[in-house]
Each structure stands twice: as structure tokens, then as C-alpha cells.
Chain A
Amino acid sequence: MPSLPPPPPGAPGGPPRDLSRRTFLRGLGAAATGLALTGCARGSGAGSGVTEITFFQSKPEVIGYFDGLIEQFHETQSRVRVRHDATSNLAGSFVRESPPDIGLLNYNFEISRYVERGALSDLGDLPEADRVKDELLPLIEVTATYPGRTSVLPYSLMAAAVLYNRDLFEQQGLTAPTTWSELTAVCEALSAAGITPIYSTYRDPWTIAQGHFDYAVGGMLDTTDFFTELKAQGADVGPSSPVSFEEQLLDPVQRMLQLTAWDNADAPSRGYGDGNLAFARGEAAMYLQGPWALTEIAKTNPDMNVGAFPLPMTEDPADRKVRVNVDLALWIPEASPRKEAAREFLQFLMQPEIIDAYNADNLGFGVTKDAAEVTDPTLVELQEYYERADFYIGPSQLVPQSIPLQNYAQSLVTGAEPRSVLRTIDADWSRLAFRS
């Protein structure tokens, strides 16, 4: 293995390599899909000057919302028609080299590879790019960058923290903890009062990765720095490297495991749906979930008084940060032949009244300098952290999808040995870096 030369990197910005091989495979692909593709007519109405673009947006909760916006867009102009695609396989569309003309998706490990390979076009020349809050740029960059390009424009940001039952806390004379020892004291007090302190749902691995794991790591470690250094190390990640999962993440993970002592006893067999239901019924005082759960909780208990606080992992209250993720970001693929029309729609979506209305409606935080503040009674508690830029991208969103991090997080809370799990992640990371 060491004798093999490492594969050359994706040569960002370089000239296209080896067209013959590419053409060969593309030819094969064309032969294979030719029949199917002839059915999908190219999207322009013959001679009418109308361009039809495909808009890929698949966040299930807001599909109807965007259908409404598309209708609104159609009313304002007649040059561009938008077809809403919510179901295609995105990876497949890029493989077939027929990606959507414009996308609005969660910005994480999934979209990062398209950014890094230069598959998304530059949006930096649009005036909308200057409206994006400067504090968000490091978050976008640590996820993925392509030199010299603004590959995505953030649209909506979600801030996640510990959701807590304000009434239960008040009943017990407790306030939201600001340090680790206050947190453990709160858990002890709740336990003593016969209340389950934290409701957890191990059966759905993502709930552990985005909740316990991200909160614990992000609360103790600068994830942006960590991942920047990690990427700089290349394939050289292991016990002897300056940064590694095993070294930097062991403390946070051990604290996370201490917290599991206060989980509901049946956590291993509970899923996300069970968690929303149980928390809404007041079966536990705290729930490590993002704002997306609030809508679900309200379905069971519309009047529930829910608060939110960032999980304190240290003894310094100033260390508290909220976990954010770029829940939606706009991008236009380089391969789209209808970029101009797509940009027109992008500019429509970025209009202050439209983007603000979306975020207010869907519990998102605004991403533009002129954005309105959140008004949701739970999320107002997190506004101050957001304004101070006391936030981090959840580490689980920065690990490439081919490393089953969610499953590893699940194995941690179901009893696997932390050091060996972290060592496995290091090895996976290193192998991935070696071959890509």
C-alpha cells in the first residue's frame, strides 16, 4: 500500500483532466440512459421565450410553503417557470450530469463534496451575497469551500440547544443551568423528585449524534478549529498526530456518557417520535433536540411552556454556545444550462420580506445582516448567543457521510468503549483522506 503513489487531489481550479477517459465513460452513460432521457424533454417552451428551471428542495415540512412561493414568483414575471422537485435522488442527478438548476438544501456533509469538487457555480457577484452575515462565513467555510467562489448562500439557520419544560423547572425551584456542576445539580434534584431529568431516544442514531454528541463536543471544543486542523493533517490522523478524535474528543464524550446516567431507562428502545410525545406529556424535564421538534411537541401539547438553554459543559458560563446548522442554503450547479433563470429565482427568494417570512414561519434564525430577530417564545432565549456569534457547527455535520458517525454515537451511548470508538473514527478518517 505505501508503495502506491497517492492519488492526485481533485485539482481544484486546474484544467479539465483527461477528456478521453471521461468521454469514454460519458459515452457509455449516454448509451445507458439515452433511452430514458429522451423522455425528459428539455425544459423550455418552444419559442415562447419561457425558461423552465428545476428547483430542488426536499425538506419535508416546507414543501408546501415553497410551492406557494413558486406561485407567487410566477405571478411576478412570466420569463421563468419553476418546477419543484422534492423527491429525486440528488446524488443520482449529479452522476447523470443533469443536476437541478437551483437547489435549496441542508448545507452539510452531503452537499460539501459538490462544493469541494467545484460542481457549484460562483454566486459571489450577486448583491445578495453581500447581505449574508459575516459571522456565518467561517461556518460555511469549515463545512466546504472551493477557492475563489461563493458556492452557496445560506437561507435559514437553525439553533439547537437543550429544550426544557419551564413549568417542571419552576415547580422544582430550578433555573436553567449555566455551568457543568449546575447541570449535574439540576439533574440530581430532578431525579430526587422522581422526575426523569433527560429524555433520550437512542434508537434513532441521528438524535444522539445531533443532540448529545454535538452538544457535548461543541460545548467544550472549538469545532471550527478542530476540523480545520484535522483537514490540514490529511491522511495523517492517529494517536501521534497533533489533533485526532481520540485526543480532543475523549473528554467531551466522557462527559456526554456521564449525562446518560440521567436518561430515561428505556432510552435504547425509544425513537424520535416517542421522544416528542414523552416530552410533550411532561414525562421528562429536558430534551436534547432542535427547534424542529417544537412543532411536533406542539401537536401533542399546544400550550406547553418550553424553554431552551445551551448545554453547559464547563465551569465557565462564558463557554456556553448554541449548536447551529445551515438548515437551508441556496446553490446553482455549474452544470446547469439555465443559470440566469435560476439566479432570477434565487434573487426572488432572497428578498428580505420573503426570507424573513420563511424564517419566522419555520423557527429559523435570519442569515442576512438586515434579518429580523426570532420571535418564537422558546427560541428567544437563544437570540443572545446568536447575536454574540457564540455558536458552532455540530461536529456530526462535518464528518463525511461515508463515516457512519451517527452509528458510532449510538454505540457510545449503548455501552461501547469511548476510546476505541474514537480510535475507529480516526482510522476511518485517515483511510478516507488517503483515498480521496
Chain B
Amino acid sequence: MATTTTTQAVRRDDAAPAPRRGRRPGVGRTSYLFLVPSLVLFTLAITVPAIMGITLSFTDSVGFGEFDFTGLTNYVALFSDPAILSSYGFTIGFALVTVLVVNVVAFLLAVGLTSKIRGKVPLRAVFVLPMVISGIVIAYVFNFLFSNSLPRWAGAVGFTPLEQSMLADPDLAWITIVIVTAWQAIPSALLIYVAGILSIPGEVYEAASLDGASAGRRLRSITLPLVAGYVLINIVIGFKNFLNAYDIIVGLTNGGPGTATRSVAMTIFSGFTGGDYAYQMANATIFFLIAVVLALLQIRLTRGKAAL
């Protein structure tokens, strides 16, 4: 008891930084200076615009000139706007399906690419290739394939459902977006899974083989549980990215046919070019809150899994 009091007294009496520097060598004031540039840039480029945007969402601004504060009008209007609600419906549905597709395919590919096959290193490079191509380029190439090549091939083999372009069918267009987005997103998920599988010690598999576990059994009872953390990471990061879907949709369907594939990000951007500034700022604020919730979820789920 007495010791504690003394220590506290000593601390209080000390010139603040001196003993700390003494206790933690290397973490001096200069270290904090290194944070300043990024802190300033982050504040100017992210925090300040975000605060401005949120403030504007309570006004009737069209992006320039005079405006009035209108309270929650924009938010009230938002929740009764079928166009906004359907864009959320589409985006969330699309993100869920894409996360599923990406993770199943990427995991299976990762299992394949870490097994004892010939040429797995060059193969890995091939599978990672889509990651380095820009989304809009991929989208335009696939647009051509879906509009021209696929209907022609379908016609040649007599498969009528695909003879008309999928992009032109309001019920099928979303599938093309899932395919193309997955095509581009699988590589990064694949890399994470490969790293995860390679981090499993070989002895575990050896022991399992000695116990007579089949390949399927090893996958189910060893690989899967041991990469569970990576699965979570891939799902959360992937879902968050897919919610922001923009470039691939613009290149493939531009929100069409009709408004069948308009994502939330596209709606928000339309407010910027279309003069519906404050209203879409309100939309962006809601969208931001959703992203915050997901980010918190990600932090929670990945806590303690130092893998990343």
C-alpha cells in the first residue's frame, strides 16, 4: 500500500516525459512527429470532407451556392424512396451472393494450389493475374463477351435461354455482375487462403494420415477448422468491398436494364452529378454507418488472429 502511494507521488512530482523516456527507450517525442504527415493528410482528405458531407446531408444544398438547414427531411425522404431501397436491396443481395461464390471458389482453388501438384507456383501466378487488371477494363471485355460471343455460342449449340444477351435481361443481368466481380475478387481471397493453408504445420497432416484419415476427412477436420480465421477475414473484407460495387457495374450494365442493377454507390454518385447533392449525402451517411458497423465486426472477429 505504502509503496503504491509513493510511486504515485513520485510520478506526480516528476517532469512528465523524462521518466517515460527512461522506461521505454526508443519511443521518444520524435517518433510521434513521424505520424504528423499522415495524420494531417488523413484529416484533410478524409475527416474534414466527411464532416462537411455529413453536415450538408441536413441541408437542401445542391452542391454550390446558398442552402438552408432542413433537419431530417432528407433522411425521412430516403427511407420512403423505393429507388433508394431497391438499390440497397440489390447491393446487399449481390454482395452476399458474391461473397459466397468468391470464397467457395477461392478456397477450393487454394486447396488445389497447395496440394502436391506439378507447376503450382506458375499456376498461382496465373490465377492471381485478374487482380492486377483494372475493373472497368475487365467489365468492358466481359460486356463484349456477354453481348456478342456468349449469345453466338449459345445459338451455335442451340441453347435458347442464353441466345439473348444476359445483360439485357432484368432478371439475369445481376448474375453477370456476380461472375465478373468474382472473377476479379477471387485472386486476393485465394492468396489469403493459400497463406492460411501453408501456415498449417505439416506434422498435423502426417499424424492424421498415420491415423488413416482420408483426403476428404483431412480437409474437413484439419484444413477447414485451422483456416476458419481466414474464412472470416475473407468474408468480412469481401462483403465490405462488394457493397461498394461501382466500376464493374458501370462497365457491364450501367445500372440497367431499367434500374435492375443500380448499386448504392451509383445512386450516391448520381446525386453529385445530378444536383441531388444533399439528399445523396444523407444516403452516403447511412451507407457510411453500415460500413462502420462492418468494420467494427471485422475488428471483433479478427481480434487475436494475428495472421494479417
A residues near B (Cβ < 8 Å) are 1, 4, 7-8, 10-11, 16-18, 21-22, 25, 28-29, 31-32, 35, 91, 94-95, 97, 109-110, 113-114, 117-119, 202-203, 205, 266, 268-271, 400-402, 404, 407-408, 410-411, 414-416, 421, 424, 427-428, 431-432, 434-436
Additional pairs, 11, CB under 8 Å, beyond known A269-B151, A411-B260: A7-B60, A11-B66, A21-B67, A32-B52, A113-B62, A114-B64, A205-B254, A402-B276, A404-B83, A407-B258, A414-B257
- Across the interface, which residues of A come within 8 angstroms of B279, CB to CB? 402, 435
- Across the interface, which residues of B come within 8 angstroms of A401, CB to CB? 270, 273-275
B80 within 8 A of A: yes
Cα of A203 to Cα of B148 in the assembled complex, Å: 12
Judge whether B270 and A269 touch: CB under 8 Å.
no
Judge whether A31 and B48 touch: CB under 8 Å.
yes
- Across the interface, which residues of A come within 8 angstroms of B169, CB to CB? 268, 414
- Given contacts A94-B63, A401-B275, A407-B256, is CB(A435)–CB(B170) below 8 Å? no
- Across the interface, which residues of B come within 8 angstroms of A110, CB to CB? 273-274
- Across the interface, which residues of B come within 8 angstroms of A270, CB to CB? 147
Name B50-85 residues within 8 Å CB distance of A.
51-52, 55-56, 60, 62-74, 76-77, 80-83
Contact among A113, A203, A427, A432 with B167 in the assembled complex (CB-CB below 8 Å): A203
- Given contacts A203-B147, A269-B147, is CB(A407)–CB(B80) below 8 Å? no
Judge whether B81 and A8 touch: CB under 8 Å.
no
- How far in angstroms is the closest Cβ of chain B from A263? 12
Contact among B48, B66, B165 with A16 in the assembled complex (CB-CB below 8 Å): B66
Contact among A21, A109, A117, A431 with B64 in the assembled complex (CB-CB below 8 Å): A117
- How far in angstroms is the closest Cβ of chain A from B62? 6
Judge whether B274 and A268 touch: CB under 8 Å.
no
B240 within 8 A of A: no
Name B274-289 residues within 8 Å CB distance of A.
274-277, 279-280
- Across the interface, which residues of B come within 8 angstroms of A113, CB to CB? 62, 275
Q: A-facing mask of B270-306, CB < 8 A → 1, else 0? A: 1111111101100000000000000000000000000
- How far in angstroms is the closest Cβ of chain A from B89? 15
Judge whether A408 and B48 touch: CB under 8 Å.
no
Judge whether A269 and B276 touch: CB under 8 Å.
no
- Across the interface, which residues of B come within 8 angstroms of A31, CB to CB? 44, 48
- Across the interface, which residues of A come within 8 angstroms of B83, CB to CB? 404, 428
B49 within 8 A of A: yes
- Across the interface, which residues of B come within 8 angstroms of A16, CB to CB? 66
- Across the interface, which residues of B come within 8 angstroms of A411, CB to CB? 170, 256-260
- Across the interface, which residues of A come within 8 angstroms of B77, CB to CB? 1, 431, 434-435
Judge whether B44 and A7 touch: CB under 8 Å.
no
B238 within 8 A of A: no
- Given contacts A28-B48, A435-B279, is CB(A404)–CB(B164) below 8 Å? no
Sample of 13 A–B contacts (CB below 8 Å):
A7-B68, A7-B70, A16-B66, A17-B68, A25-B52, A31-B48, A32-B44, A91-B273, A113-B62, A268-B164, A401-B274, A402-B271, A411-B256
Cα of A401 to Cα of B73 in the assembled complex, Å: 20
Judge whether B64 and A95 touch: CB under 8 Å.
yes
- Closest Cβ neighbor of A436 among chain B residues: B60
